[in-house]
Every structure is written in C-alpha cells, then in structure tokens.
Amino acid sequence: MPCVAQFGIIDKFEKNKDYSSDYEPRKYNCVAIDDDILNDWWEELTFMKTYFHCYSRPNFALARYGVTIIPPESLETFYNIVSKDIRSKLSEELINLMVLLRTAISLNKYVIHYGV
C-alpha cells in the first residue's frame, strides 16, 4: 500500500486546539493523494504559509509526518500548485483535492493535512 497524505476541511476551526492529538480523517471527510506527488511540489510548497499541529506553531509547507493546518489565505496558492500539475487533468485523486480546495476557498475554511 502506498503512503498517502490526506486533506480535509475543518468545519469549525479552533485556534487553541492541537490537531495532532487525534487522527480523524473521517471527521474531516479527507481525500487521499499519493505522498510521492508532494515531492514534485515541494519547492513551491515551501512558500505556502501553514501551521504545524496547532495555530500557535506557524510554519511553511507541510508537516510530512505530522499534521498541518492550511489557513484560508494559503489555499489559492495550494490550489494553483495542484492545478498546474499536468496529472491534475486525469488523476481522480488530484481532481478530488482541487474540488476540496475550491470548496474550502469558497467557504473561507481551514484545511487539515495528515502526513504519512
């Protein structure tokens, strides 16, 4: 089984919550993508503002082996990275990720990422 990264929408974001304390991909209706794909995007992801595990830990890119919180202001950047990947036209997993990101953008929601 390949290693996957999972992404979901946080319906009610809590600034004081440590999101790494529980692994809840079902709660956030996560979509999974092959973690290897993130390697191809890594340089661009390093410019994307995020938080590792909780809001009090600002960072950039993704916590590959932990939990990342992607704020609404970074979602357009992330969407652009995904959409310009040629695989996004045919890959069901990338199409699902783009739909999730577009939904989060339209609702001004945070996105959670569970690393491998």
As beta bridge partners, residue 72 has none
- Please, which pLDDT band fits residue 2 given cuts at 50, 70 and 90? confident
The residues, any chain, with a CB within 8 Å of residue 73's CB and separated by 6 or more, are 49
Q: What is the pTM of this model?
A: 0.95
Burial group, residue 78, by CB count within 10 angstroms (0-12, 13-18, 19+):
buried
pLDDT in tens, 64-88: 999 999 999 999 999 999 999 999 9
- Residue 97 and residue 81: Cα distance in Å, rounded? 11
Helix (H) or strand (E) holding 104: helix 92-107
Share of the chain above pLDDT 90, in %: 96
Q: Measured in Å, how far apart are the chain's first and last C-alpha atoms?
A: 12
Tell me the backbone φ, ψ of residue 18, rounded to 5 degrees. -90, 105
Question: Taking the mean position of all CA atoms in its chain, how far away is CA 5?
Answer: 8
Non-local (6+) Cβ contacts of 14 within 8 A are none
DSSP sequence for 16-30: T--TTSS--TTTTT-
